C-alpha cells in the first residue's frame, strides 16, 4: 500500500523529528510511506494525487477504535484497489478548508480534544503502524 501523510506546516523540533523517523522506520515493512509538508491548505490540496483515497483528520470527524481504523481504512485495500494511494491529511493551526473536507473519503478525529497538529502527525503515524500490526495479527496492540 502507498501511503502519504500530507501536513500543513513543518516539523521543527528535533525530538518530534526523531519520533517521526522511528515510525517511518517501523513502517517500512508494511507500506510505502511519504510525508509531504505543505505551506498552506491550497498547497496541501495540490499535493494530493488524482484518484487518491483521502482521509482527513478534522475536529468534525468521527472517532473510531484502532481496530476499526485498521480494518476499515488500512484493511480496505480491496475497495481502494491494488496499488492505490491512501492519503491522510493533517491541517495546520486553523484546521482544514471546506475544499479539503469536501474532497475527503472520510473525516476522522482523535476525539474531541484539541491537539497540536505536530503531535497529531505522530499520532497518525503511530496508528498506521498499530493498524498494520493488528491486520497481521502481530503483537503490539492490546484490546
Please check the confidence at residue 81 and state whether its pLDDT lies above 70. Answer: no
Please check the confidence at residue 59 and state whether its pLDDT lies above 70. Answer: yes
- Grid cell 478525529 is found at 109
- The domain segmentation of the chain, as residue ranges, is 2-135
DSSP state of 73: I
How confident is the model over 21-57, as pLDDT tens digits? 999 999 999 999 999 999 999 999 999 998 899 999 9
Q: Please list, in sequence order, all residues whose beta carbon lies within 8 angstroms of the beta carbon of residue 116, skipping any fewer than 6 positions away.
A: none
The helix-helix angle for 14-27 and 117-135 (nearest 10°) equals 20
pTM for the full predicted model: 0.92
Tell me how far apart the alpha carbons of residues 118 and 98 are, in angstroms, rounded to a whole number.
Answer: 21
Tell me how far apart the alpha carbons of residues 94 and 109 are, in angstroms, rounded to a whole number.
Answer: 15
Domain 2-135 has CATH 3.40.50.300: no
Q: Measured on CA atoms in the order 66, 70, 74, 78, is the torsion positive or negative?
A: negative
pLDDT at position 117, please? Answer: 87
Average pLDDT over every residue of 116-140: 93
pLDDT at position 12, please? Answer: 93
Average pLDDT over every residue of 55-66: 92
Average pLDDT over every residue of 94-121: 91
Average pLDDT over every residue of 115-125: 93
With a pLDDT cut of 70, the percent of the chain lying above it is 93
pLDDT at position 80, please? Answer: 60
Please check the confidence at residue 78 and state whether its pLDDT lies above 60. Answer: no
Tell me how far apart the alpha carbons of residues 15 and 140 are, in angstroms, rounded to a whole number.
Answer: 23
Choose between 125 and 78: higher pLDDT: 125
pLDDT band at 122 (very low <50, low <70, confident <90, very high): very high
Amino acid at each position: 500500500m502507498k501511503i502519504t501523510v500530507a501536513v500543513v506546516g513543518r516539523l521543527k523540533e528535533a525530538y518530534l523529528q526523531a519520533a517521526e523517523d522511528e515510525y517511518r522506520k517501523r513502517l517500512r515493512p508494511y507500506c510505502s510511506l511519504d510525508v509531504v509538508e505543505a505551506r498552506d491548505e491550497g498547497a496541501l490540496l495540490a499535493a494530493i494525487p488524482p484518484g487518491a483515497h483521502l482521509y482527513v483528520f478534522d475536529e468534525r470527524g468521527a472517532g473510531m477504535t484502532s481496530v476499526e481504523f485498521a480494518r476499515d481504512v488500512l484493511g480496505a485495500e480491496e475497495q481502494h484497489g491494488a496499488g492505490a494511494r491512501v492519503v491522510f491529511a493533517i491541517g495546520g493551526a486553523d484546521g482544514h478548508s471546506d475544499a479539503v473536507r469536501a474532497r475527503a473519503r472520510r473525516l476522522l478525529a482523535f476525539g474531541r480534544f484539541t491537539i497540536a497538529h505536530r503531535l497529531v502527525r505522530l499520532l497518525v503515524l503511530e496508528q498506521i503502524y498499530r493498524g498494520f500490526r493488528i491486520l497481521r495479527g502481530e503483537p503490539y496492540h492490546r484490546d
